[in-house]
Amino acid sequence: MDFIYHLSNASLTLRVVQFLHEYAKLPVQFVTVIHQVDGWVVRVKMHTPLSDEQAGNFRAFLNELGFPYTPGISLKMALWALETGQPMVDVMRRYQVAVVSHGTPNYDDIEAFRKQFIQGLGYCPETLA
């Protein structure tokens, strides 16, 4: 069971990661976080299907923060490559995407990416707020 959502900024992305850490009843297999020029794509894949109630609650939470996202072919291929175990660096080079985190939801990876990006630009774009 997959949930793929588009979020507008880093703060919302961090809220999803924090929620997944606190809501331990979800059987999360992995979380992929990708930064794009217009926002963030977050994919949450479950080990096993959720009950209707769990899926509804999780979707409601995600819908408050962003919207369901249908990736284009290039991003679909990048997500598939990550799922099959290809190294993040290879995926980033091949598909020209900024993979911030893949695997266990990682708050620190997102914060580090955000800080480095802002430091390199010298200002904070809306997507990194």
**What does the pLDDT read at residue 22?**
83
> For residue 24, what pLDDT is reported?
64
Does position 23 have pLDDT exceeding 80, yes or no?
no
Indicate the pTM of the whole model: 0.92
DSSP letter string over 7-68? Answer: ESSHHHHHHHHHHHHH-TTS-EEEEEEEEETTEEEEEEEESSPPPHHHHHHHHHHHHHHEEE
The predicted structure's pLDDT at residue 122: 78
Contact 69, 40 (CB under 8 A): no
Classify 86 as helix, strand or coil.
coil
Q: Which band of pLDDT confidence, cut at 50, 70 and 90, is reported for residue 82?
A: very high
Q: Are the CB atoms for 71 and 53 separated by under 8 Å? A: no
pLDDT of the residue at 114: 87
pLDDT digits (tens, 9 = 90+) for 25-62: 899 999 999 999 999 999 999 999 999 999 999 999 99
Predicted pLDDT at 64:
97
**pLDDT at residue 56, as a whole number:** 95
